[in-house]
Chains A and B, each alone.
Chain A
Amino acid sequence: MRPPRPRAAFALLGVAALLLVLAGCSSNRAGIYPYQWNIFWDSLLRPSPKIVNGIWLTVSIAVTSQIIGVILGIFGALGRLAKFWPARILANIYVWIFRGTPLLVQITLLYYGLLVARIYGWPDLVVLGITLPGQIQAGIFALGVNEGAYMTEIVRAGILSVDPGQLEAARSLGMTYPLAMRRIVLPQAARVIVPPLGNEFNNMLKTTSLLVVIAVPELYVTFEQLNGSGSTSFHPFELFLACAIWFLLLTTIWSIIQAFIERRVGRGYGGERPPGLFDRLFGARIRRVDDPSQVSGGR
């Protein structure tokens, strides 16, 4: 018997109460820290163009990097599972390097390292009339390539979860390996891939803030700049609380989208429905499991 878990909603209420207490302290002990709640509310309800731009950058960098990561992950997984041994070695080395070194180091090395050593200067690119600064290119590249290493393992697990009889059936109908992979194996692997992929993208949205080291003005960097200059200077509590809420909003929207995708790739399997929004948001029990060791955590 496991002890009953307190409802996730109560935990959330607890956090809200704590915030209220903190806010309450401010009125009693004004002068120690000059709270300016209008900074908080303005950042949320009337975001400046800078903030809007930061949100837009965070989302577009995260989406682009994740797409690159998924594509690299599919090829990485096919490489790791290939009969052709050089492909296996290449894929293994890729995963080994990019999972084995800190993302922060990868970002710095790929941008500053290459730039200063004059190996690659990251010149601005004009794509569809939009100028893409070198830092953003380097950021997308580093996040995407890093993500690809993790996605390789996720896609590989997905492919391995598909019954080998499926590939045999496809081949017995005259399909070549690439066609059988594309039409038969990968769509079935998708069902296993999408939940951890959702985790990855949730992480990705937040990890974009690491691009602070190469000064990409995404959401976190924007708030750091607001904290460092102008009328909002040195109000970290109000500013970063608003920043956190913006990130929470983005990841929440994503979890709703993910639920739709899971339903879509789960076609034909019937039975268990994907967890509902409440369970998803508050991490409440997704499935009753008697043996807790069967529940695995995320990264």
Chain B
Amino acid sequence: MTIDDQRHHQPHDLLEAIGGAPAPAGDVVVEATDVQKYFGRLHVLKGVSLTVKRRETVVVIGASGSGKTTFLRCINHLEKIQGGRIVVNGHLIGYRETDGKLVEDRERNIARQRMDIGMVFQRFNLFPHMTSLENIMEAPIRVRGVPEAEARDTAEALLERVGLALKRDAYPAQLSGGQQQRVAIARALAMKPALMLFDEPTSALDPEMIGEVLDVMEELAHEGMTMVVVSHEMGFARVAADRVVFMDDGMILEEGEHATLFDNPQNPRTKEFLSKIL
């Protein structure tokens, strides 16, 4: 146990650390239209459409196998799509349009689009051969070409604000799951993304570590980061979500403002699912 863990650290001013809230081009940040996805013959996304506005936090819930994680991974083109289109910040993601047909874009262009889309993984996926600080500095330096001193300042500011200033030189293997996930969030933020994607960020954590990660995410939502979160954390959804989306069998079955979806579900599948997890 270190000083860090003993007192409860309130995450603060995360966006200030990366130079204020990033301003996306339009009011709509994510516009997914009729997204179709197959794994071989398995039809996993059957026409998913979703719009996320600037400063909005959308929480996606649904049973495992409902396609929610797959959909999230399509938003930064970690998965190819077979139909429909996803536009982030006015850019068609992963594809370019030639003669009305969508052709997969060049690797370099896709990489450029991903620079503005932060992603946090269920299993953290920190780089184990780098310290916390190096994990956070790596992409700004190598991808954005930020000078090392500036990247270091930003990384230190972010670590301080997620409560891990003392862990700057620790390797991921020396951190708890909750600490690793907070570093992972800082790593994604260091790229100054316009949008953050969270793929079940707390489901690989021990119960007592979930709170420290949700605190950071809540703070981020309140500061106005645009977020799409796949999670079953109802407490988080209640305080942070502007909208909750229920997915089932590759489709969005129901959407609700704030947490109304929990209190007054309309669709019988939603009711059934909520009765199991609440």
Co-assembled chains A and B: yes
Binary interface encoding of chain B residues 168-208 relative to chain A, with 1 for a CB under 8 A from any of its CBs, else 0? 00011110000000000001100100000000000000000
Q: How far is it, in angstroms, between the C-alpha of A174 and the C-alpha of B174 when the chains are bound? A: 26
**In the complex, are the beta carbons of B129 and A175 less than 8 A apart?**
no
B171 and A268 contact, CB distance less than 8 A: yes
Would B121 and A168 count as touching, CB distance under 8 A? yes
**Given contacts A179-B142, A183-B138, A270-B174, are A173 and B188 in contact (CB under 8 A)?**
yes
A81 at the interface (CB under 8 A from B): no
- Whether the pair A269, B173 counts as a contact (CB closer than 8 A) is yes
Looking at the assembled complex, report how far the CB atom of A184 sits from the nearest CB atom of chain B, in whole angstroms: 6
Q: Give the residue name and chain of the A residue nearest to B117 (CB).
A: A172
By secondary structure, the A interface counts as: helix
CA of A283 to CA of B125, assembled, Å: 36
B121 close to A267 (CB less than 8 A): no
- Sampled A-B contacts (17; CB under 8 Å): A165-B125, A168-B125, A169-B119, A171-B114, A172-B76, A172-B114, A173-B139, A173-B188, A174-B111, A177-B107, A179-B142, A188-B129, A267-B129, A268-B130, A268-B172, A269-B171, A271-B173
CB of A166 within 8 Å of the partner chain: yes
Residue of A nearest to B170 (CB): A268
- Judge whether A174 and B123 touch: CB under 8 Å: no
**Binary A-proximity of B119-138 (CB < 8 A = 1, otherwise 0):** 10101011111110000001
- Scoring B residues 51 to 94 as 1 if CB is less than 8 Å from chain A, else 0, what string do you get? 00000000000000000000000001010000000000000000
Q: In the assembled complex, which residues on chain B have CB atoms less than 8 Å from the CB atom of A166? A: 125, 127
Is there an interface contact between B191 and A174, defined as CB atoms closer than 8 Å?
yes
Residue-wise, chain A 76-107 has the 8 Å CB interface mask toward B (1 for contact) of 00000000000000000000000000000000
Residue of B nearest to A175 (CB): B143
CA distance A44 to B215 in the complex (A): 69
Closest residue on chain B to residue A268 by CB atoms: B171
Given A165-B121, A168-B78, A268-B171: A176 in contact with B128 (beta carbons within 8 A): no
A163 and B129 alpha carbons, distance in the complex (Å): 13
What residues on B are CB-neighbors of A170 within 8 Å? 127, 139
Docked pose: A175 CA to B107 CA in angstroms? 10
Contacts of B128 in A (CB 8 A): 188, 268-269
Instruction: Tally A residues with Cβ within 8 Å of B.
Output: 25
0/1 string, A214-250, CB within 8 A of B gives 1: 0000000000000000000000000000000000000
Contact A176 B78 (CB under 8 A): no
Chain B residues, CB < 8 A from A198: none
Interface: B50 (CB within 8 A): no
Docked pose: A184 CA to B127 CA in angstroms: 7
Q: Given the complex, which residues of B lie within 8 Å of A271, measured CB to CB?
A: 173
Indicate whether B101 reaches chain A with its CB closer than 8 angstroms.
no
Determine which of A172, A184, A265, A268 lies in contact with B173 in the assembled complex, contact meaning CB atoms within 8 Å: A268
A267 — nearest CB in chain B belongs to which residue?
Answer: B129
A187 within 8 A of B: yes
Instruction: Tell me the complex Cα distance, A269–B170, Å.
Output: 11
Count of chain B residues with a beta carbon within 8 Å of a chain A beta carbon: 32
Q: Considering only CB atoms, which chain B residue lies closest to A169 in the complex?
A: B125
Query: Could you say which residues of chain B place their CB within 8 Å of the CB of A269?
Result: 128, 171, 173
A-B pair count, CB < 8 Å, reads 78
Contacts of B139 in A (CB 8 A): 170, 173-175
The complex places the Cα of A252 from the Cα of B3 at a distance, in Å, of: 46
A206–B68 Cα distance when bound, in Å, is 57
Complex: A247 Cα to B135 Cα, angstroms: 43
A residues 143-170 touching B (CB-CB < 8 Å): 163, 165-166, 168-170
Give the nearest-CB partner of A172 in chain B: B119
Q: Is B276 an interface residue (CB 8 A)?
A: no
In the complex, which residue of chain B has the Cβ closest to the Cβ of A176?
B111
Once the chains bind, are B114 and A173 in contact (CB under 8 Å)?
yes
- Nearest CB of chain B from residue A136's CB, rounded to whole Å: 37
A174 touches B115 (CB 8 A): yes
Distance in Å: Cβ of A84 to nearest Cβ of chain B = 12
Q: In the complex the two chains form, what is the Cα distance from A177 to B106 in whole Å?
A: 12
A179-209 residues at the B interface, CB under 8 angstroms: 179, 183-184, 187-188, 191
The answer to whether B125 and A174 touch across the interface, beta carbons within 8 angstroms, is: no
Given A165-B125, A168-B121, A268-B128, the answer on whether A173 and B115 have CB atoms closer than 8 Å is: yes
Shortest beta-carbon distance from B134 to chain A in Å: 10
How far, in angstroms, from A267 to B171 measured CA to CA in the complex?
A: 8
Residues on A with C-beta less than 8 A from B111 are 171, 174-176
Cβ-closest chain A residue relative to B197:
A172
From A183, A188, A265, A267, name the one whose CB has the most chain B CB atoms within 10 angstroms. Answer: A183
The CA of A175 and the CA of B129, in the complex, are separated in Å by 17
Q: Is B271 an interface residue (CB 8 A)?
A: no
CB distance from A265 to the nearest CB of B (A): 8
Give A166 to B173 CA distance when docked, in angstroms: 15
Contact in complex: A268, B78 (CB < 8 Å):
no
B191→A173 contact, CB < 8 A? yes
A-chain residues with CB within 8 Å of residue B123 when the two chains form the complex = 165
Q: Which residues of B contact A187 (CB under 8 A)?
A: 129
Q: B108: CB under 8 A from chain A?
A: yes
